[in-house]
Amino acid sequence: MHGRRTPALLSLMLLCMLLPGPAAVFAGDYKEYRCTPDVKYECTRNQCEKTADDFQQAESFGFNSKTGELSACLWTNCYAARAAVFRDTASETFTAMARLVPKAHPGNEPIIVSLTVDAGDPGPIRDTMDRKTRSFTAVWGYGSKGLSLDMGRCKLEKLP
């Protein structure tokens, strides 16, 4: 049985090595994205429900396009790991996804997080839009019973 999984595992490892890293995806225009949610949904197989407004200070997400590190602080623990990054030029977004390892409480289970950020040029500044912010959607808590979905804005800082 172990021998049957070996070719599939090797194929998956090779595919991951061939995926472009953050340096290839961002081509020298490196940024730090610091994202805070405005809206949160808790989803099950049957429905998604909008949660109360008391989570904004307890949840945040980050991505460093130079190092490829994706991070999330969720209530009492923070998590981080190097992410696979996928760019969608048609929608002008990128998605960073990883299995994040707990940092504050190492005994906790790792979690899978995906962060999709609007990477396009926001165009002219509007009354409510700042050129140094982008909208995001983060999904976490993936499981057979449901997941959490956060949406909000990311502040950008250009990296050297």
Tokens in use for 153? 């804005």
* pLDDT at residue 151, rounded to an integer: 95
* pLDDT at residue 104, rounded to an integer: 82
* Within-domain flag for 104: yes
Contact 41, 149 (CB under 8 A): yes
Residues 6+ apart with CB under 8 A from 157: 31, 32, 34, 132
Residue among 92, 96, 86, 84 at smallest CA distance from 33: 96
Decide: pTM greater than 0.95: no
DSSP state of 95: E
Mean pLDDT for each consecutive 10-residue tract of the chain (160 residues)?
A: 42 44 59 95 94 84 97 93 95 96 88 93 54 90 93 92
What sign does the dihedral 121-153-98-160 (CA atoms) show?
positive
* Within-domain flag for 116: yes
* Within-domain flag for 11: no
* Within-domain flag for 70: yes
Q: How many domains does the chain contain in total?
A: 1
* pLDDT at residue 26, rounded to an integer: 54
Residue numbers of the domain that contains 127: 21-158
* Within-domain flag for 48: yes
Which CATH number fits the domain that encloses residue 78? 2.40.160
